[in-house]
Amino acid sequence: MEILITSKTHKGNAACIGGLVLNNNRLVRLLNPGNWDQYADTDLDIGDVWDIQFVDREDTVPPHIEDIIIQNRIYIRDIGDISTYLRNCGVMIYRGEPTAIFGGRLGWTGNGSGYISNKDNLPENSVGFWISDQDLILDKDNKHYNYPTANVFARTKHFPYVGFEPNVEVIPSGTLMRVSLARWWCPEDSDLPERCYLQLSGWYGLGKQQAKTDDYEYDDLPI
């Protein structure tokens, strides 16, 4: 099947590669045999279309149901304007405030991190696309993007950025972005239940901006 590569995100020393099956808009995550993620220098690049033979991973845990195992792949073409394609292909796009992401199922911590915890009310997928009604501003730590609010009593929502593309200072409102949920996790020696935390995977169609670069480590979450 032809699959469009839609994301490349850090996962420890590896790369988590997301895609979209073109003939049915199925959201997928591309793993190698043995359930391994791709190497960081993978040639699976955002915007490329590959003809991929695959099988579904058998032991998926909702909402992370996208995993497929690559058996064979052949490069086909570059999709061109990926932002325009995704906006017009019929794939679900969340719009507006961050509370719209994943159909309003997100909870928010005191410091503004989004998460899923209710296993009886899960979204259909662990990845999605979002168009914000406000600019997202790069935090001074160069690791998060903040969604501003004029309400002094409201929490500032922030998004850890896990993509491979260099940071930009501002993601303007109206930009198409990809969001994802990390795997189920809870701190050791904690009474907190397992959660899937919200992440920003990347954006489309911005062109070149002044990049912010910083070397830092990413959480090595389980596959």
Note down pLDDT in tens along the chain; length 223 residues. Answer: 999 999 999 999 999 999 999 999 999 999 999 999 999 999 999 999 999 999 999 999 999 999 999 999 999 999 999 999 999 999 999 999 999 999 999 999 989 999 999 999 999 999 999 999 999 999 999 999 999 876 655 678 999 999 999 999 999 999 999 999 999 999 888 888 999 999 999 999 986 544 444 443 434 333 3
CATH number of this structure's domain 2-80 = 2.40.50
Residue 2 tokens, joined:
């032809």
Task: Tell me the whole-structure pTM to 2 decimals.
Answer: 0.90
Q: Is 31 helix (H, G, I), strand (E, B) or coil?
A: strand
Name the β-bridge partners of 203. Answer: 177
What 8-state DSSP symbol labels residue 193? Answer: P
Domains of the chain by residue range: 2-80, 84-212
